[in-house]
Amino acid sequence: MNRGDLHFTLKQLLYFVVTAEYGSVKKAAEHIPISQPSVSTAITQLEDTLGVQLFIRHHAQGLSLTASGRKILKEAKAVLRQSESLHSVAREIGGEIRGSLSVGCFVTLAPLIIPELVHGFKTSFPDVRLTIKEYNHQSLISQLCEGELDVALAYDLGLDENIVFEYLVELQPVVWLSEKHRLANRGSINMSELCDEPMILLDLPHSTNYFLSLFSHLGLKPEIFHRTSHQDVVRTMVANNYGYTLANVRPRSMQALDGKRLVSVELEGNHRPMVIGLMSVSTERKPKLLDSFEQYCRTMITRDHVPGMDMA
């Protein structure tokens, strides 16, 4: 196929990508927003131009991508990102900070950091469109490497050679307990004192290894009562005095979803902290919008202030 045969448009690619993400022409049309016939026509025209079937149509059950559609989807997203990058370059030449930025955040940090951070950045740069996605560490790295994310806020866990990590602030581990727990009024707790207590473990990739390593480095082993990948479940179980947990954050609110309260107690001794930082894929030229967002994060996430956290 020569260049003269390529008659698809960026709009057709956009409608295809949105439809693939929602699995429904109706939902895609509501999201864009535009009429359903316009979305369907654009996809049909794209299929005709490329000479492939992109979707399998299921009556009353939406759409699913064909094998060819999955391959085209990856390339279509890349073309749309390049198009946005081209617009960003043009705006930078004109001195504007605007455009789209896809930001990832580690799932347990997002409720604390993202609301204040995004509100402040949008106030300073109202023409910027931010897309926020919450993932575990493995998914954040995968999404960065695949170009689905521009930058991510996360801990220094599970990094690989393709990821650039910029240190922002380190957080020491602490113990979370019910306010009714027998150790709740202590000024500090030794790790050995926790070994006979039931532990509620936040069970996420890399996080689990980190928390268990705090024990193993001291030749200790915790008594794990329950594992869960949901931070709110951890908080509620601890607040109801099922056991303790370890964490690296001190939220401004130490209240579980059921209204019961937790307390945070220092750990005695020296323990490896977790480091919050910016993760990105190394590039020779960093877009001005991304650079502005990272600079904003540097001013908002410091030793003395982290959005949503008590740093006293």
How do residues 106-130 score in pLDDT, each as one tens digit? 999 999 999 999 999 999 888 889 9
- Residue-wise pLDDT tens digits, 28-73: 998 888 888 889 999 999 999 998 999 988 876 789 999 899 999 9
| Residue 307 maps to a domain | no
Let me know whether 200 and 262 are in one domain.
yes
Mean pLDDT of the chain: 89
Q: Does 93 score more than 50 pLDDT?
A: no
Which amino acid appears at position 248 of this protein? Answer: N
Q: Token pair of 278, please? A: 């910016």
Domain finish residue from 77, 109, 141: 77
The region of weakest confidence among 9-13, 49-53, 77-81, 224-228 is: 77-81
Q: Does 94 score more than 70 pLDDT?
A: no
Let me know whether 147 and 292 are in one domain.
yes
Let me know whether 190 and 261 are in one domain.
yes
Let me know whether 28 and 151 are in one domain.
no
What is the extent of the structural domain holding 262?
Answer: 173-272
Let me know whether 131 and 62 are in one domain.
no
Let me know whether 125 and 260 are in one domain.
no
| Residue 310 maps to a domain | no
Q: Does 96 score more than 70 pLDDT?
A: no
| Residue 84 maps to a domain | no
Which of the two residues, 84 and 128, has the higher pLDDT score?
Answer: 128
Q: Does 22 score more than 50 pLDDT?
A: yes
Domain of 258: which CATH number?
A: 3.40.190.10
- Residue-wise pLDDT tens digits, 237-294: 999 999 999 999 999 999 999 999 999 999 999 999 999 999 998 766 778 889 899 9
Q: What is the band of 89 on the pLDDT scale with cuts at 50, 70, 90?
A: low
Let me know whether 191 and 261 are in one domain.
yes
Let me know whether 257 and 186 are in one domain.
yes
Let me know whether 207 and 219 are in one domain.
yes
Let me know whether 185 and 260 are in one domain.
yes
| Residue 205 maps to a domain | yes
| Residue 87 maps to a domain | no
Q: Give which of 143, 145, 115, 151 is closest to 280, Cα–Cα.
A: 151
Q: Taking residues 156-177, what's their average pLDDT?
A: 92
Q: State the Cα–Cα distance between residues 303 and 263, nearest whole angstrom.
A: 21
Domain of 72: which CATH number?
A: 1.10.10.10
Let me know whether 157 and 182 are in one domain.
no
Q: Give which of 140, 131, 146 is closest to 289, Cα–Cα.
A: 131
- Tell me what percent of the residues of the chain surpass a pLDDT of 70: 92
Q: Does 81 score more than 90 pLDDT?
A: no
Q: Do 200 and 245 touch, CB atoms closer than 8 A?
A: yes
- Total domains in the fold of the chain: 3
Let me know whether 139 and 61 are in one domain.
no
Quote the pLDDT of residue 82: 73
| Residue 82 maps to a domain | no
| Residue 193 maps to a domain | yes
* Dihedral sign computed on CA atoms, order 157, 152, 226, 310: positive
Quote the pLDDT of residue 91: 56
Taking the whole predicted model, whether its pTM rises above 0.85 is answered as no
For β-strands 245-247 and 163-171, DSSP reports them as unpaired
| Residue 88 maps to a domain | no
Quote the pLDDT of residue 60: 67
Q: Give which of 195, 213, 214 is closest to 269, Cα–Cα.
A: 214
Quote the pLDDT of residue 283: 65
